[in-house]
Structures are given as structure tokens and as C-alpha cells.
Amino acid sequence: MSKITFIGAGSSVFAKNILGDVMQTPALQGFELALFDIDLERLKDSEQMLLNLKKTSNSTCTIKSYTDRKDALRGAKYIVNAIQVGGYDPCTITDFEIPKKYGLRQTIADTIGIGGIFRNLRTIPVMLDIARDINEVCPDALFLNYTNPMAVLTNAMITYGGVNTVGLCHSVQVCVPELFKSLDIDTTGVKWNIAGINHMAWLLDVSKDGVDLYPEIKRRALQKQAEKHPDMVRFEMMLKFGYYITESSEHNAEYHPYFIKRNYPELIERFNIPLDEYPRRCVEQIEKWKTMREELVNNVNLEHHRSHEYASYIFEAMETDIPFKIGGNVMNTGGLIANLPREACVEVPCLVDRNGVQPTYIGNLPPQLAALNRTNINTQLLTLEAAVTQKKEHIYHAAMLDPHTSAELSMDDIVAMCDDLIEAHGDWLPQYK
Amino acid sequence: MSKITFIGAGSSVFAKNILGDVMQTPALQGFELALFDIDLERLKDSEQMLLNLKKTSNSTCTIKSYTDRKDALRGAKYIVNAIQVGGYDPCTITDFEIPKKYGLRQTIADTIGIGGIFRNLRTIPVMLDIARDINEVCPDALFLNYTNPMAVLTNAMITYGGVNTVGLCHSVQVCVPELFKSLDIDTTGVKWNIAGINHMAWLLDVSKDGVDLYPEIKRRALQKQAEKHPDMVRFEMMLKFGYYITESSEHNAEYHPYFIKRNYPELIERFNIPLDEYPRRCVEQIEKWKTMREELVNNVNLEHHRSHEYASYIFEAMETDIPFKIGGNVMNTGGLIANLPREACVEVPCLVDRNGVQPTYIGNLPPQLAALNRTNINTQLLTLEAAVTQKKEHIYHAAMLDPHTSAELSMDDIVAMCDDLIEAHGDWLPQYK
Amino acid sequence: MSKITFIGAGSSVFAKNILGDVMQTPALQGFELALFDIDLERLKDSEQMLLNLKKTSNSTCTIKSYTDRKDALRGAKYIVNAIQVGGYDPCTITDFEIPKKYGLRQTIADTIGIGGIFRNLRTIPVMLDIARDINEVCPDALFLNYTNPMAVLTNAMITYGGVNTVGLCHSVQVCVPELFKSLDIDTTGVKWNIAGINHMAWLLDVSKDGVDLYPEIKRRALQKQAEKHPDMVRFEMMLKFGYYITESSEHNAEYHPYFIKRNYPELIERFNIPLDEYPRRCVEQIEKWKTMREELVNNVNLEHHRSHEYASYIFEAMETDIPFKIGGNVMNTGGLIANLPREACVEVPCLVDRNGVQPTYIGNLPPQLAALNRTNINTQLLTLEAAVTQKKEHIYHAAMLDPHTSAELSMDDIVAMCDDLIEAHGDWLPQYK
Amino acid sequence: MSKITFIGAGSSVFAKNILGDVMQTPALQGFELALFDIDLERLKDSEQMLLNLKKTSNSTCTIKSYTDRKDALRGAKYIVNAIQVGGYDPCTITDFEIPKKYGLRQTIADTIGIGGIFRNLRTIPVMLDIARDINEVCPDALFLNYTNPMAVLTNAMITYGGVNTVGLCHSVQVCVPELFKSLDIDTTGVKWNIAGINHMAWLLDVSKDGVDLYPEIKRRALQKQAEKHPDMVRFEMMLKFGYYITESSEHNAEYHPYFIKRNYPELIERFNIPLDEYPRRCVEQIEKWKTMREELVNNVNLEHHRSHEYASYIFEAMETDIPFKIGGNVMNTGGLIANLPREACVEVPCLVDRNGVQPTYIGNLPPQLAALNRTNINTQLLTLEAAVTQKKEHIYHAAMLDPHTSAELSMDDIVAMCDDLIEAHGDWLPQYK
């Protein structure tokens, strides 16, 4: 019996999406769905929810909870990772509150930026620990990483964990549909191509019957910018740099030095930037869980419609050998994106079939897009360097290379802020030298 | 109305396969199928045959013959190339008879070897001429090259013709099914992966549910080698080098210095090597055409079953955006196969969808396979050098680097043989200096 | 008779150094020294000065002024380029004054930053014009570029000018001697290795008898930082990033977002940053020239001691075949510095002998150094893109990717400032679209 | 006190050259010269000889013999390796006699070919053993490998031994002087450039004052070929492939499939090919040693003139920081020679100074030269693969890819011959599976 292991299964909503999808996929019937979480209560909730779904889906998959991670992983063919280390309280609070003292404001803090750096630093050791388990009990498994910060964690799992990993995010598949919806354009027959790095991949080409749609997209976007809307940062980036980005405006606001600027406080209003968005969402979700729990866990009529998350489609393609295309995060080995560093993790179209995830070759990005990617890759690679060498100086380097952090703070403030964050993390971080 | 142009449409059997497939593909209905050939009689035959097929297929495609190549190409979205320059008589006869005088025997002579070199030299100028037309009248078209020698012609079209080209051969898709049939193994649920160069691509991985099937394949192959069968060279190569090759035994016999050896005449018998196979086939085909013509051209009930040729599946994937996987010949730009030269044309899995043909990244081949590929790439690259520089010395170099030619003949004999071949080609070759 | 052509020979002091060196080099006796400048008065001054030097040096070189650039270049074996386009007045004034209106302060503005960008944009067309002359009248000449911004101009001459070029700067050879002098350390027997990009190359290794000298260097540097001194920015960079930089503190202050910050005005004082340093120097030089002219031009006893400028040593090594090592600016073809973009110009140790300038392979820089280099390469490559496409948007991109500019200004201010600069340049720039 | 360790010091003539050079180099005075050999008698002879030389050279170097290899290496700054594993009797005899039974004739058998393969296989384990010692007792030492087969042993020491190694051969420095002497051309002012692989590096460029000398060289070479002379193979290769090779005719005769051919026995006479040359030289040397021993070992007036061997010049450049240029064997990391495999060892110009051996970037070789190199690299890489995996099949692969072996023998004969050689080697080889 083949086995899919879900690490972090206590994330019930996400587990519902991924494993609910799996239970509706004919080629995956009969699989064991192995659940693991360090939060046993949430684990049990998810198990119960999935048992409900199993019935309403008429699935022959087996649902099983594990309290030992290695047992959960043993013999797995596929692994889905959705862990979060440190949680909202205390770690996310720390990620936002300490920088705020230095005048550094953030929106999401899960990719790069000072929050992204520390999210990586506390997550990488756990990931490499999982990698050690995998190498022991299921070395051939395919590891689907959904945990953020995507690029660095995926890089760590491949480069230092030695695990067959692809990083997944749904920003690629919803990019054009949502953009077109927001601009009221029909997507029928539209061709698009996306590549770059996670959360900053580029809609390189969008056309229909050989006609470039960008001029019309930009015309409508410019019009739309006249009024407030939730995607203003991304539109502005497109209007300035020529290409649309996969990740949302609230994310992109902090990837660049252009939007959250103490010298230009009016930009927050003008570009409709939701500072502290992520902690606000966390609080809401925690609140919402109380009612949602009822709907999910104790609802014997719980239903599910197959989502657009890649996981079940990847498993299906690997089981059936019917090709499926994803935007996957893989190492830039050999220079798939020729003008980005080889040691970076990139997001490129990948072919999936029985041979697994096979990245395609892209070549050069337009130079301004490669340049923007490189500013973020700088911080990514230095964060990874910090995590694997456990040298404090590389944490400072990562922060000093972050475009937003370095635009706002002096080097001394950056160092002091990092030291404060290290101290506040306590045992959530290993000892740095 | 979208247009598919078929250059060399006088090859009725192949045109039937490719365009018969097209007419049975829902997504391609309404396309114009533009036929071109320099042989007007054969062109008319193919047109008539396709009109028959159109009726029996209930296709809404339009069939149209052109006597001007540029007109045929104008506005094409897809181009299929199946030309042959110089034909059986005189050129194939020349390719075989002159080397034979020097004691150099061949089987097919359409890939590398002395015959492959001259087939390239007389075909490349015609290809680059077609490229010039394409750049003028349909610069965005996708060019599907089916003409041999595949690797060099495809390389020429991309590197020197500037045309968006993929080289196609059906040896990839039939490789495992035919091998398994010959060894009486079931292919259900079998996973395989193939990469290398055209006609010498490698079955790198063949497994089922994680179990490597090579040990069983080799056990049966070894058994089968005890008696005569038509695939002995390929089996021998697998038993010696560990991996199965995509192209047939009669081809592989002349790609290596191992089989046709004046010092070991017994190998011909032992490995069942059909010397002069290709001219024999040509004569047969010419003979057969007399009766076949009736069956194809004047048969109003002519039927067609969609073949395994890639062309219609590529067009379909590009029109529908439903991914399809091919083994395609593309440039090794950036080192898709990391241990083969970047300037070579390689055969790798490619994803096809609305974004066209997107090669996937392979990495290193096992070292013995890369080494065997490199011996053939040597001749390929020198042949291309000869064609584009029009320097005679590079023709000699190509021949002197050919593993079979250099094993059999002295340098002086090679040069003399090349000179004889140049002279015999007359106007089929441009002036070399 | 071999010929060395000096373009921009009106820079008398620099011409004295370079050609004074040449006249003292035995292997270069008898060479024609061809002088060209668009300022005929300064050209005549330099000619006169060199004639004086020729006498006091007992050189057999011939000195000749040209009023036609192509005549000056015709048949040259070596070319030295030291042009400045637009001069202090009006262009340098423009480079500093317009950004100042937007609150953007600079120190030197000759490398990157907004001033560096426009210095490139007005110089590249002139350089490519010189390249056209060279390809016509002395295609095999070695072109020594001394004009700033070094990295982009050298890249332009090689990539778009097709000229055999090496970019030269004396910051490499004086790096360790000046650092050690300032810290009172003896350089005897010290080994060092420098690589990176021009003006931001790194002292990667500095040791004596296998003992790393960096700990002692940093100890003394830290001590020295307690008081004001002229090299504070560079010391701070070393203490933060671990490695010493080749270019001076006044330059580095504007290459990074760390020093000139509106939110931290105290840093100017703390790190002793000379804002507007370059225009101040220009004014001084113009003033000084009045007296210096007498000393140089009309002084028949003028003497010269061979300087540390690379030019005469390069010519000497190429004439004598005795190897000489330089830090040269060359294309990063093939990835000499593996973790910097291939399309960038890098500064690496080069072997010079009769075979010319031969760059050596470096491999990866420490990740934080590669990251810092990449932030500047971003602007360099986008500036070059702007110059060769003549698209205004790429000027904006270059400025928006500049670490200092983007830290200080909003995107709208950057665009407005670029537009002001374009307008103020008038005919000093070609028409941008 | 700095230390130079000589492994294989029993090779008295070579030790005299290398260490005699060292004792005459001012910068190396006071060094300890540590001698090691497994043949204690020869070791003592060399020690005595060097003590004689020390006196006549007035050197302050210390000479010391060691019977423990690790003691000899401990603390070494430089290591010279000149070991030979298996000696003339039995191993060289085996290398020649067993292939001869199969009809395969050789000349030198120390590079590639069946003899070169087995010479590698028995030497690599000893080399990696030395590497383990070095990593323990002198990890920073520079290892100068003089032992053949150069390319594979150097590759093994770097890739699998982790030792800072450069491979050295005097074929580079004598290439042009000896060629010009044989053709009676003056070398004054001549510029040349050499790159490729060891024993098959190419004189890429030979010119004087910008004038290509190849036409004149080829004119004289063609004339000279009319009569018998000792360099006929190399001349023939140049006339056919356009470039002169660094290694001698007797070597090159067996690197290619062109000269020693059973079907063309007349080529041996025509190209003056000395079959079995190396064993003949060995017998002569052994014979000669009896008288030579007297001249060297017991001659208190023994003199030495500094040779052209690179070793003492490398040490001198590293001690004095005065640049020296060598043709060194280094890994093709990053593609120094862009059209040769990255995992090969290549011979390129290197800059030597206090920073050690720094290879320069070459780019693409002319395609026919890259092709010839690749045929030999094929065997090199497969030999290395065999040695590190200890899989017999890779020995067969190495032999089957060897151009000369595969031209002459069938696959079955190659396998049988390899098996015979493995058996004959007995304990000189580790156990293969």
C-alpha cells in the first residue's frame, strides 16, 4: 500500500485541501494518508475531519495519525510538508514587534525581509531534522514543501538535506486568472509563461493567437490605479518594470525598497499597503477556528471540491504517467534561468509524470527582472549560509542585503535589531557563534 | 485560418501519417494543410491521397498544393519538414558505393559515418535556404524537422538558420514497447526515462513500482543472444555498456567501431548485421510504390488510424494547452545534458503546451554513455563546421573523427575517399575550398 | 614602427604618468606616441610636456599630435583611453545638482549611483564610436580603458564594440600597501589576492607565511575607528562584511544604502563622508591647472619617475614576454567569478605576456561579497541595456535598482529625477524613446 | 625551515634535475629537501648524489632521507611526486606483452591506450593513499605531480584526494623550441599559445609581430615529410588537423586510430613508428644505470645546470612573488576550455606567484582539436570511474572507448584482454567486482 505522509497535518484547512483532493483522485485510491503533527489535539481534529471527508468522498484511502514522526514517514512515497515553527505566538509576534521598535514596518514577513530571515532561521533546523528522518526511513520519497519561506527552505532540503524536493505555492496557477478577472479580460485561449523565484516570479509572456496582451493589460491597469484597490503595488511594479508578478501586493510591498519608506509615509495610503497584515490574519484565523472547527471536524456531511493545489495533480501524474505541468521551485542547477545564480532556488515550469518533477529550461530573464530577483536571492543565500554555518555575522549580512531593511535602517540598527531578535527567539534558534 | 506547411509532401506514406493524424485531431480542424514538393507528380499524388483521407475522416481541414515554396510557407504556424536531397539515385548509391571501394561497409548511412556526413553536406544548404524563406514569410512558425541526419540538420536550422525548430524521430516512443515486446515483458505501469543524442539516446531508467527492471531485461537479452535475431547489436551494446539504445541494431552497427571490422569479418554473421540495408530498402520501396500508389492515391475509401508520430500531438498540445511529453531534439544550451558539449543537439524529454516545446533538464549521463555520445557528436560538430565554412579540411576532420571510418581506414584513404565523394556529388554540393 | 595611441591626451597629468612611464621603458623605445584630444589647446600642452619629458628621459619614442581621431588610431598596437565626456561643466554639475534637488546626495558619482548612470549614458555612445574607428583602422589593437565608469564602459567596448579591451584602475595595486601603511603593518613577504568588480573588488586573502593577517588588520582597524580618519567607510564595511574593498571610503559611501541616509543624517559626520567631493576636486584641479601648467608644459627640466600605473608594464610584458600580473577588468565569460553574472565585467588577476591579457579563474566569492557585488552589477547591466536599446524605461530601471538611490527616493521621484537629468543633458545624450 | 618533499626520490636522474635546480635557486636556500622512496638502496643513492651536488652548488639546503612516508611529508610546503608503481618488471612488461597477444601493438603506453589504463589503475590507489597522508600531515602543501598518466592521476588527486595539485610535464615548454629547431626557424620574438590536455595540447597560435607562422611551418614540415625523421606522426597530425601537438610522435602514434593499424601495416614504416619503444627504453636505462650510477652517486665533482623543469620556477615564483607562467594540468572547472568536459583535467597556461597556481581562461578550442581531445578524455574519465568504483565493467568501458584499442580489436577481445591484464596484475591491483 502506497503512503502519503502529511507533516503538519494539524493545519486542518490545508490538510482538507490537499488530502481532500487526494481522496477524490481515482489514481490515488487505496493510499494510506499518514498524518503527523506535534500538536496532538489538532492532529486528532484533522484525522476526524478527514474521516468525515472519506465517507462523503467514497474514498478507499486509509487515514492514520502518528505520534512519532519517523513512523509517519516510514515507507512514504510522497510527503507533504506544511509545518510552521514557532507559530503566531510567540514567533510571528516577535518578527513584527521587534523590527517595529526600530521603525521597520512589515506586511507579511514570510518570504524575505527581517521577518522572513528569522522565519527561515527557526525553520531550517527542523527541516533538516525531518530530512535526516527521510534519509533513514523513506529515502526515495518525493517531498512537497508548502512551508514558507519557500525558496530558502526548499534550497535547504535539497542542498543540505539531500531530499528529493519540490517547493509548491499556488501563486503561479492563480496569477493570470486573478489578474484577468480583476481587469475583466477573458482568459480563453490565452497563453502564458511564468518563471523567476517564488513570490517574485514573472509573467514573462501573455498572449492570445500570437498577439501580446500586455499593452491592453497595462492600459487597464493604469486606469484601475486611479482608484484604490487591493493590488496596487503589483500593478505599480508592472507599470514600472514591465511585467506582472505572481505574488500579491501585500507581499511585494516588503520585497522592494519602494513602498514602505519612512521618508515617504504617504506611499502606504497611496498604494493601499496593509502594514502588519499577517499578524492580523493570524489573530483572525485563531478566532475563526473556534467556529470553523465545528464545521470541519464534527461535520459528517463535510464536502470537498478538488482545489487547484498542485499536490494531488502531481501524485496523479506520477501514478498515471499522464503529463501535468506545474510551476515548481527547484534548484537553478546548470542555470535553468541563466542570469540568476546557480545556487539559488528558482520557480520554473516543470513537467510531471511517472519520472517525477522535471524542470524546463528558461534561459535569460529580461535584465530588470533578473536584477530584482537577485536583490532577494542575495538575502536568501545569506540566510541559508547563516543557518548552516550558525555564524551570527551571516544573519547580519542577510539583513543588511535585504532591500527593504537596508533602505530603512542603518547598519548599526540592523545589527542591534538582529541581536534583539536572536535573544527574543531564545530556544527557537540554535546557538549562534 | 491557421496553416500547417509540409515540405517534402511527396513522401506520400509519411504525409499520410502526419497529415492523416492532423485531420483526425479535433483541435486542428479547419487548418489549412499546405503541401510543397519539388516533385510535382508526387505532390499531386499526395494531394489526391489526402483529399481521399479528408472525406473518410470527415475533416474540415483544407488541402492545398503549392509549386512555390515561399507561398507554401507564407503565414504558416507549423512546418513539417521531410525533404530528402539527392534521393536514392544518385546520392544514396554514391554514399554506399564509393566507400565500398575503400573497403568501408555501411548499413544505413543516414546519421553519422561517411554516408551521414555527405547526406548532411548536401542537405544543410537546402535547409538554410528554407530557413531564409521562413525568416521572411513566417518567422514565428514552429519547424518540426523529420529529415535525417537529425542532430546536425536540427542544429543547423537553430544555430545558423535562426528558426524555432525541434527535431523529431519516432525511435524514442517505440523504444520500450518494442524492447518489452521482443522480450515478452508487460509494459503496464512501467516508468522509463530516455535522453542522449538522436539515434543514440539511452534508456536511462526503466522500473516498475520502484524496482529496476534492467536485471531482468538483461537476463532475457542474454538468453536471446544465444540465437540469431534482428536486434543483436543493440542487445550487445546494452550488455557491454549497461543501457539500451533508442535506435535499431542496423543503425547502431555503424555508429561504433565494434561491429563492422575488416579484421573480424565473422562479426557480421554473428551479430546479424545487414550491410547495405538502406539502399536495399530504397530499391524495395521504389518497387513497392507502384502498387502502393494505387492503394493510397486512387483509393476513395482510404483509412487512417492515428499514428504515434509526435507531430499531431505537438500541434494538439499547443492548440489546447493540455501538456504532452515528447523526446525532442534541441540544442544543449546551458548544458541540459551536463556532460555533453553545449553546442551539440541533444534528445531530451520536452514538455509541449501552448508555450511550445520546452526541454527539461537532465544533468550528467553515466560516463560511458556520455563518452559514446561524444564520439558521434565529434563528427556531427565537424560536419556542421564543414557545411558552414565550406572548407574541405573540415569534411576530412569529420570523417577522421568518425569512430567507424577511422577504425577501418587510414587517414590517406579517408581523404581520398572524401575527395571521390565530393567529386561524385558534383552540383549536389556547393563549392568547397 | 609600433604605435601607442592616447585618446584624451589633454589630461596632461595622466598622460605624463602613462607616457612618461612608456618613455622610461627600454622595451618601448622607438614607439610612436600618438596623441589625440578634442581640446586642441590641451592637446598641444600635453605634446609640449611630453617633448620635454622625452629629452630628460633620453627616450627615442616619437611624439605626435593628431587632430583626426582615425588618423591617430590608424595602425595602433596599443590604445590608452582617458576621455571624459561632458566635463565638470556642465555634466558633473548636472550629475550632482539635480539629484540634490530630490534630496539625493552623492560623493563621487563616477561608478554607479545616479551620477554614474548618466556618466555612462553620455560616454557609451562616444566609446562605441571609437570602437567603430578601431575596427576600421587597427582591429587587432589592445585597448586599455582608464575612463570611468570602468565596469560598464569596458563591458560596452567588448560586448558591443567588439574591441580587445582591458579596463584598468590603480585601486588594485595600491590596496594592500595603503591599508598596511595606514595601520602601520609591514608588507614584506605578504601575500594577497584580490577579485570582484571594479571599485568593489575584495581583498580575499591577505596572509604571511600561511598566517591570516585579517585578525590583526581588523583589530587595528577597530581601534582606528575610534577616531576620525579618511577611510572610515571602508573600515566599517570590512568590520561588517569581513573583507577590505579596493576603492576608497568616499567612493564606497555611495555604492551602498548604508551611509548617506536621510533618516540617519548623523552618519555623514560619524563616518566622515565628504559629500560633493568630486565637484570640489574638479574645481580645485581647474584652479590648480593654472599653476601646474607652468610646471608641466613649459618646464624643460621636467622629470618623471615610473609610476605604478599598469599601462607601461602591460606593454612591456607584451613586448618582452616576461610575465606581469595585473588586476584587470574583463568579461566574466564562462564564470571566472562563478557566483557573479556571466554578462558582467569583473576585476580579476590577469597574466600578461606576449599572448596579451589572460584572466585567471577565481571560483566563488564568499556569499556576502558576491551579494554586494550583485547589487551594483544590477545597475551596471541595466545602464548598459539602456544605452544600447535607447529605451528610457531601462534608465529608470537602472536608477531604481541602484541601492543608494532606491533607499533614498520613491519610484516616482526616481523617474522624475531621471527625466530632469535627461532633459538637462540635452545633446550630451542621444534621443531616448 | 620550509620543506620540499620528493616522493619517488630513487629516480636519481629526475631528482637531480628537480632538486639540483632547487639548490641553485637563491629563494630556496635553507629549505629541507626530504627524500622518500620505497627502494631504500636507490633512495640512498639519490641522497648521496644530492649531497655531492649540494657541495658543488654551495647550497644551504638540507638533504634528508626518510623511510616513513608520513614523516617525509610532515609539514611539507611543496611535494614533488615521481613515483612509478609496478616498475618495468613486471608491470610494463605485462602492459605490452598481453595486448600483443591480441594483436594490439603499442609504443609508450603511459598516457591512454590499454597500457595507460592499467598504469592508471595500479597507480591511483597509491596516489590516493599519499593523499590521505597529505591531508593528515601537510594539508596546505602544493603537490606537483610528475607521474604519468598525468591527466588521470592529477584528476584523481584533486577530485578524490582533495589535494592542492598541479600536474607538470615538460612537453609544453620544449614544444616550440624543438619544433623550430627541427625546421631551422629562429624563435626570437615568437609568440605562442598552448592549451589542450596533457600530451595532446595544441600549439593554438604561433606568430611573430602579428604574422602567423603556421603557413611557413607547414611548408617546411611537408618538405621534411618526404624523408624519414623521428617526428613524422606529429607532422602528419599537424598537416591533417592544422595544429602542432605538444607530445612526441612515438606517443601520439597510439593516441589515435590512424597509425598503428593491422589493415595498414605499411604505416609503421612510413611514419617511422617505434613499436615497443618504452620497454626498449626501460631496458636501456636499467643497463645504463650501472655506469650512470658511478657518474652520479659517487662523483664528488658532480655538476648541474638549471633545467627547464617547472618545479624550481614554481617554488621560486611562490617564494618571491615574481610571476612565472607555466603550462599546468588543472581541473577544467567552470569550463576553462569551454568545449571540453568540465570534469576533465586540462593543460592550460597558469600564472604562478605567491598565490599559487592560477589557471587562465581559454574559451573554445578549434572544433577538430576539441574532438580529438574528447576521444582521449573519454578513456581518461572511464579509467578514473573504474578506479574509484572498482567496477570491472568500467575498465572494459575505458578500453572500448580508447580510439586505438577499439579500432583494432573486437569488444570480446577487448574484454578478454582486460581480464588477462587484471589477472596478470595480481596484487598490483585492488579487488575489482
Say if A137 falls within a structural domain.
Answer: yes
Q: How many folded domains does chain D comprise?
A: 1
B208 to chain A, any CB pair closer than 8 A? The answer is no
- Least CB–CB distance from D325: residue in C192, C351, C359: C351
Q: Is the model's pLDDT at B1 over the cut of 80? A: no
For chain D, the chains sharing at least 3 beta-carbon pairs closer than 8 angstroms are B, C
- Least CB–CB distance from B374: residue in D342, D378, D407: D378
Distance from CA of C428 to the nearest CA of D (A): 38
- Least CB–CB distance from B324: residue in A323, A358, A360: A323
Say if D394 falls within a structural domain.
Answer: no
With CB atoms and an 8 Å threshold, state whether D397 touches B368.
Answer: yes
Residues of A catalogued as catalytic: 170
Rounded to whole angstroms, how far apart are CA atoms D124 and D159? Answer: 12
Q: Is residue C297 very low, low, confident or very high in pLDDT (cuts 50, 70, 90)? A: very high
- Note the residue count of chain B: 433
Residue D394's pLDDT is 98
Q: For residue D333, which residues of chain C lie inside 8 Å, CB to CB?
A: 361, 363
Other Cβ atoms less than 10 A from the Cβ of C72: the count is: 24
Rounded to whole angstroms, how far apart are CA atoms C241 and C370? Answer: 11
Tell me how far apart the 2 most distant CA atoms of chain D are, in Å: 60
Which of A291, A312, A279 has its CA nearest to residue A6?
A312
Chain A and chain D touch, per 3+ beta carbon pairs within 8 A: no
Rounded to the nearest 10 degrees, how much is the dihedral formed by the CA atoms of D260, D262, D268, D274?
Answer: 60
3-state secondary structure of C63: strand
Say if C118 falls within a structural domain.
Answer: yes
Say if B244 falls within a structural domain.
Answer: no
Rounded to whole angstroms, how far apart are CA atoms C43 and C60? Answer: 21
Residue A1's pLDDT is 73
Q: pLDDT above 90 covers what percent of chain C? A: 99
Query: Cβ neighbours of residue D15 under 8 Å, at least 6 residues apart?
Result: D6, D9, D35, D46, D49, D50, D82
Amino acid letter, A381 = L
* ipTM surpasses cut 0.90: yes
- Least CB–CB distance from D353: residue in C325, C355, C358: C325
Q: For residue A370, which residues of chain C lie inside 8 Å, CB to CB?
A: 341
B359 to chain D, any CB pair closer than 8 A? The answer is no
The secondary structure element, H or E, covering residue A136 is: helix A113-137
Residue B112's pLDDT is 94
- Phi then psi for A328, rounded to 5 degrees? -115, 155
For chain C, the chains sharing at least 3 beta-carbon pairs closer than 8 angstroms are A, D
**CATH at D126:** 3.40.50.720
* Each residue's pLDDT tens digit, B221-280: 999 999 999 999 999 999 999 999 999 999 999 999 999 999 999 999 999 999 999 999
Q: Is the dihedral of CA B359, B360, B363, B367 positive or negative?
A: negative
Residues of C catalogued as catalytic: 170
CB A402 within 8 Å of CB A113: yes
Rounded to whole angstroms, how far apart are CA atoms D117 and C119? Answer: 59
Task: Provide the residue range defining the domain that includes A27.
Answer: 3-86+108-167
With CB atoms and an 8 Å threshold, state whether C358 touches D363.
Answer: no
Q: Is the model's pLDDT at D310 over the cut of 80? A: yes
Averaged pLDDT, groups of 10, chain A, 433 residues long: 95 97 98 98 97 96 98 98 97 98 98 97 98 98 98 98 97 96 96 98 96 98 97 98 98 98 97 97 95 92 95 98 98 96 98 98 98 98 98 98 98 98 98 96
Chain B and chain A touch, per 3+ beta carbon pairs within 8 A: yes
Amino acid letter, A175 = C
CB D72 within 8 Å of CB D34: yes
Residue C1's pLDDT is 73
Considering only alpha carbons, which residue of chain C is nearest residue A406? C257
Distance from CA of C305 to the nearest CA of A (A): 43
Rounded to whole angstroms, how far apart are CA atoms C99 and B29? Answer: 61
Q: pLDDT above 90 covers what percent of chain D? A: 99
User: Which cell numbers hold the place of D334?
Assistant: 567552470
With CB atoms and an 8 Å threshold, state whether D335 touches C338.
Answer: no
Say if B234 falls within a structural domain.
Answer: no
CB A255 within 8 Å of CB A404: yes
Rounded to whole angstroms, how far apart are CA atoms C424 and A381? Answer: 41
Q: Best interface-test mutation with B: which of D159, D268, D368 has the largest number of B CBs within 10 A?
A: D368
Residues D122, D127, D132: CA angle, nearest 5 degrees: 135
Q: Best interface-test mutation with B: which of D337, D406, D414 has the largest number of B CBs within 10 A?
A: D406
Q: For residue D365, which residues of chain B lie inside 8 Å, CB to CB?
A: none
With CB atoms and an 8 Å threshold, state whether D374 touches B374.
Answer: yes
Q: Best interface-test mutation with C: which of A233, A411, A412 has the largest number of C CBs within 10 A?
A: A411
CB D391 within 8 Å of CB D433: yes
Other Cβ atoms less than 10 A from the Cβ of C53: the count is: 25
User: Where does D200-355 show beta strands of DSSP type E?
Assistant: 200-208, 211-212, 244-245, 324-331, 345-353
- Report strand pairing: D78-81 vs D142-145: parallel
Residue A374's pLDDT is 98
- Cα Rg for chain D, rounded, in angstroms? 21
Alpha helices in D35-112 (DSSP H): 40-57, 69-73, 93-101
Q: Is the model's pLDDT at B58 over the cut of 80? A: yes
Rounded to whole angstroms, how far apart are CA atoms B346 and C297? Answer: 66
- Phi then psi for B398, rounded to 5 degrees? -55, -45
Say if C401 falls within a structural domain.
Answer: no
B404 to chain D, any CB pair closer than 8 A? The answer is no
User: Which cell numbers hold the place of B66?
Assistant: 503549392
The secondary structure element, H or E, covering residue C375 is: helix C367-389
Chain C and chain B touch, per 3+ beta carbon pairs within 8 A: no
Say if A80 falls within a structural domain.
Answer: yes
Q: Is the dihedral of CA B387, B391, B393, B396 positive or negative?
A: positive
- Average the pLDDT over D287-293 and give the result: 93
Residue D1's pLDDT is 74
User: Which cell numbers hold the place of A102?
Assistant: 526600530
Q: For residue C416, which residues of chain A lie inside 8 Å, CB to CB?
A: none
Q: For residue D410, which residues of chain B lie inside 8 Å, CB to CB?
A: 258, 261, 263-264, 267
Tell me how far apart the 2 most distant CA atoms of chain C are, in Å: 60
> If you search the block for the grid coordinates 591511483, which residue do you land on?
D124
Distance from CA of C386 to the nearest CA of A (A): 10
Q: Is the model's pLDDT at C171 over the cut of 90? A: yes
User: Which cell numbers hold the place of C46?
Assistant: 600635453
Rounded to whole angstroms, how far apart are CA atoms D103 and D385? Answer: 27
- Phi then psi for C179, rounded to 5 degrees? -60, -45
CB D361 within 8 Å of CB C336: yes
Mutual orientation of helices A12-23 and A277-297 as an angle, nearest 10°? 50
Say if D310 falls within a structural domain.
Answer: no
Considering only alpha carbons, which residue of chain D is nearest residue B415? D240
